Structure 1
Amino acid sequence: MKKLVSIMLAGVLFAGIADAQIYRWVDEHGNVHFGDCPPPECPAVEVPVRPGPSKEELERAQERLERLREEQRRAEEIRRQEAEAARLRKEEEQRIAAYRKSRCILARQNLHVLEVRRPVYYIDERGERVYLDDKTRTAEMERLRAEIVEFCD
């Protein structure tokens, strides 16, 4: 795509050169030269040059160039948006993985504490210790096992 844009731009820029006279001549060493001003000591032959593009052709080329540039800008914007979306997805996946890992570790630690069969308590809103009874301990152990299954690989 960039190559096409470059070729079209070069064609537009150098269109004016085509109006100049081009000559061909051979020097005393037999080397062939081309130029717009032959040396006086060498016989030169005028080289026929095709006429440059018309004004309409130049305008069409410019319009094509602008369309190509706009397509390129859109494609770059799409690539930028896709890269940003991929970056956000990766960040979200990392955040979820960290959350799952912390939940897994916490569930395993708490289950271990409950399985040791020592008295376990928590502090309520009044600041008092509340000990877990056997029924609550068993229910909490089942809940923690379910969390381990859900969050641990």
Structure 2
Amino acid sequence: MKLHYLGVALFGAALSLTGTSLPSAAQELYRWVDEDGKVHFGDRPPAEVQAKSIKAQLKPVNGAAPTRREDFPDLDREKKIEQEYQAKKRAQHSRSEQQRRTACAQARKQLKILQGRVYFVDEAGNESTISERQRVEEARKLEAQIRQLCG
């Protein structure tokens, strides 16, 4: 009797490993007991004995419940990550561009100041001037900075 169960189990396992499914006519499975008391299983009941269908009692061999859409990983996740990365990159570029424009405007303002009479006031309120050579040197530095920042 145990051999019959084992045979049915092995048959089912072999079908599941090969990916083969039973034809639609063989979707029924019957159980019957012969005159010697042995239990048999088959896809067609014998004519001489009364067989009972056990299809409702069995689970499908490859019968995993169909998965729902939310059970799958987010297929657009990689696309969303790339979009977020590009948005952050654009925002960072925008901030650095704004900083560059601010530095450019500041350098131009300082150069304009250096082109006139230049003097400095210290913390005590005393005025001090710079030499013409220092003024020209500072102006060159600012012009180079303007070329670099302002394009």
TM-score (norm 2): 0.51
Give the match's secondary structure for 2:61.
helix
Partner residue, 1:144? 142
Give the match's secondary structure for 2:63.
helix
AA in 2 matched with 1:85: Y
Give the match's secondary structure for 1:122.
strand
- Give unpaired runs (5+ residues) of structure 2: 1-58
Partner residue, 1:96? 96
Partner residue, 2:121? 123
Aligned residues: 94
Deviations 1:50-108 (A, max 9, x none): xxxx723331x63xx4799434x1x3332222222111111111111111111111112
Larger helix share, 1 or 2: 1
Pairs within 5 Å for 1:1-153: 55-59=60-64, 62=66, 65=67, 69-71=71-73, 73=74, 75-115=75-115, 118-153=116-151
Give the match's secondary structure for 1:55.
coil
- Give unpaired runs (5+ residues) of structure 1: 1-53
Give the match's secondary structure for 1:57.
coil
AA in 2 matched with 1:81: I
Q: Distance in 2 between matches of 1:100 and 1:91?
A: 14
Structure with bigger gyration radius: 2
TM-score (norm 1): 0.50
Stretches of 4+ moved more than 6 A in 1? none
Inter-CA distance 76–111: structure 2 relative to 1 (3 Å threshold) = same
- Aligned residues of 1:101 and 1:152 also touching (Cα < 8 A): yes
